[in-house]
Amino acid sequence: EPEVTQTPSHQVTQMGQEVILRCVPISNHLYFYWYRQILGQKVEFLVSFYNNEISEKSEIFDDQFSVERPDGSNFTLKIRSTKLEDSAMYFCASSEVQVYNSPLHFGNGTRLTVT
């Protein structure tokens, strides 16, 4: 079964450094998302992306965050200057079509640790 793949699985960075989290969505999917999960509990929406532009973003997704689909397969999340509170598990997700019954397919996540 096709999967969403994320790299790296674990990223450690120092406060103030830039990080790029990478995702390869399922090949025929058109809608892409980033979510994050803090302390293994609450799953928070960051951003959705369609047709090479942001569809919606949350209040968490401030100017330090950006997303990009640099080629036909990758979908990246960049944090420009990381803060301690950015430490979390970041999940990429995709869906095939944007109808209300279309479930999200998640990758296994990147654990970001900011020291």
Partner 1 sequence: AQSVAQPEDQVNVAEGNPLTVKCTYSVSGNPYLFWYVQYPNRGLQFLLKYITGDNLVKGSYGFEAEFNKSQTSFHLKKPSALVSDSALYFCAVRDVGTYKYIFGTGTRLKVLA
Q: Summarize as ranges the residues that interact with partner 1 (CB under 8 A).
A: 4, 31, 33, 35, 40-45, 48, 50, 55-56, 58, 91, 93, 98, 100-101, 103-109
In whole angstroms, how close is the CB of 14 to partner 1 at the nearest point? 24
Quick one: 50 or 66, whose CB is closer to partner 1? Answer: 50
Least CB distance from residue 3 to partner 1, whole Å? 9
CB of 16 to partner 1, least distance (A): 28
Structure tokens at 58: 């949350």
Nearer to partner 1, 12 or 15 (CB): 12
Nearer to partner 1 by C-beta: 65 or 106? 106
**C-alpha to C-alpha distance for 66 and 78, rounded to whole angstroms:** 5
Beta strands of the chain (E only): which ranges? 5-7, 10-13, 19-24, 31-37, 43-50, 53-57, 65-68, 75-79, 88-95, 105-106, 110-114
CA pair distance 107, 115, nearest whole angstrom: 24
